[in-house]
Structure 1
Amino acid sequence: MKKSELRKKYLEKRKSLSDKDIFQLSNDIFKNFIHYFKPFSGQKVHIFIPIEKFKEMNTRIFISYFLSRNIRVFVPKIADARLISVEIFEYSKFELNKWQISEPVSDEDSGILDFDFVITPLLYCDRHGNRVGYGKGFYDGFFETVSEETKKIGVNYFNPDENVDDVWENDIPLDYLITPTEVLSFFGEE
């Protein structure tokens, strides 16, 4: 299926989710992440702030967990048409950008490239790690800059059941996908 079709299909599927569904599915994804990856103090995690109008999963549970365990947290911010990584703390201030997405007030790019994990938003991911986002390409550009050891992890409410047919040369696949029911590895690690 083409990305445009998958984007439309999964935006519609998300619209049908209740707040209760989102809460439960987000918690299940969070538990799968913790169980599988076992993050620990001192690690560095880049994670998105959810866009609530698009019913993205609640990553705030991840962020609270990380901050309470001295895991460094970085979030995306769009600056000069590219995605930068801003480190946040419990006292960090946020504001809405022109797309009504919550971002840190700080414009200071951390310069960090050796993240342990990049937890990535998406609308869909197939069983080969091919990601369908919102079509702006910010994360593909960001993935090009991070360390090869960084684990690129997608999170999604839905299990993959169809292939992305129009994968492009500049598309960078994920290493893992976490759903409420499973963790998929795309390079044979278990």
Structure 2
Amino acid sequence: MTKAELRAAFRQKRRLLSEAEWQNRCEAISNQFFTLLPSKPVSVIGTFLPIESQKEVNTWLIVRRLWQEFPHIRIAAPVTNLETGTLENYEITPETVFTKNRYGIPEPPPTSSFIIHHSSFNIILIPLLTFDQTGNRIGYGGGFYDRFLAQCRPDCLKIGLSLFDPVDQIDDVYEGDIRINFCITPDQIWDF
């Protein structure tokens, strides 16, 4: 299937999840993440913040646990620049006050947060609609994360979070698509 076909199919699959099923899957993904984390040397993690109306994976479960149990790890979240098609990442703390952008994405305030340079990240948690069995992912089609990930260090772990298992193949992958190293689903950690 093509990216457009898969986007439509997986948006629909998300919409059909009950609130309880969505929450259960998000909790399982968070628990899986913390089984992977201790095996990696980590000082800075970048994460997307969920568009809850789209039933994106609830990364707040991961963020709040990191703040409590791993206070030495710095966490950053992106601010989307729609004019340039880029992401700037800013440190977030329990005191950060977030505002939602026009897509409903919570963002930290750039004027009162510390910018985190793309070369600082050890791990990036990446939103996606689906992924395939070789580590290709499908986002929303804007290319924001592909442009950002292309600037990160080669050893930065790119981890997708998915409510569903992978599809066999994405038919129209192109050279500019950045593959993920891992994808965490409710039942498994996929290692590419």
TM-score range, shorter chain: over 0.9
Residue 156 (structure 1) aligned to one of 159, 162, 167: 162
Mapping for residues 31-50 of structure 1, pairs under 5 Å: 31-38=31-38, 43-50=43-50
| Secondary structure of the structure 1 residue equivalent to 2:120 | coil
Deviations 1:111-160 (Å, cap 9, x if unpaired)?
A: 24231210000000001111000000000001111111110000101111
SS of 1:38 mapped into structure 2: helix
Tell me, yes or no, if the aligned pair for 2:85 and 2:143 is still in contact at 8 Å.
no
**Cα distance in 2 between the residues matched to 1:130 and 1:67:** 30
Q: 2:164 matched to 1:183?
A: no
Distance between the aligned counterparts of 1:44 and 1:183, measured in 2?
A: 21
Matched, 1:169 2:169: no
TM (normalized to structure 1)?
0.92
TM-score, scaled to structure 2: 0.91
Aligned length: 186
Residue 86, structure 1, aligned to residue 94, structure 2: no
Matched residue of 1:141: which SS?
A: helix
Q: Report if aligned partners of 1:114, 1:149 keep a CA contact under 8 Å in 2.
A: no
Unaligned runs of 5+ in 2: none
* Matching residue within 91, 102, 105 for 2:106: 102
Q: Percent identity?
A: 33
Amino acid at match of 2:75: V
Tell me which residue corresponds to 1:111: 117
Q: Report if aligned partners of 1:124, 1:131 keep a CA contact under 8 Å in 2.
A: yes
Alpha carbon RMSD of aligned pairs, Å? 1.6
Kept in 1: contact 2:45–2:123 (CA 8 A) = yes
C-alpha spacing 1:14/1:40, structure 2 compared with 1 (3 Å): same
Structure 1: state its 5+ residue gaps.
none
In structure 2, distance between residues paired with 1:72 and 1:170? 29
Question: Mean Cα displacement is larger for which, 29-38 or 47-56?
Answer: 29-38
Instruction: Write the letter of the residue equivalent to 2:161.
Output: V
SS of the residue 1:77 aligns to: strand
Stretch of structure 1 that moved more, 8-17 or 30-39 = 30-39
Letter in 2 for 1:35: T
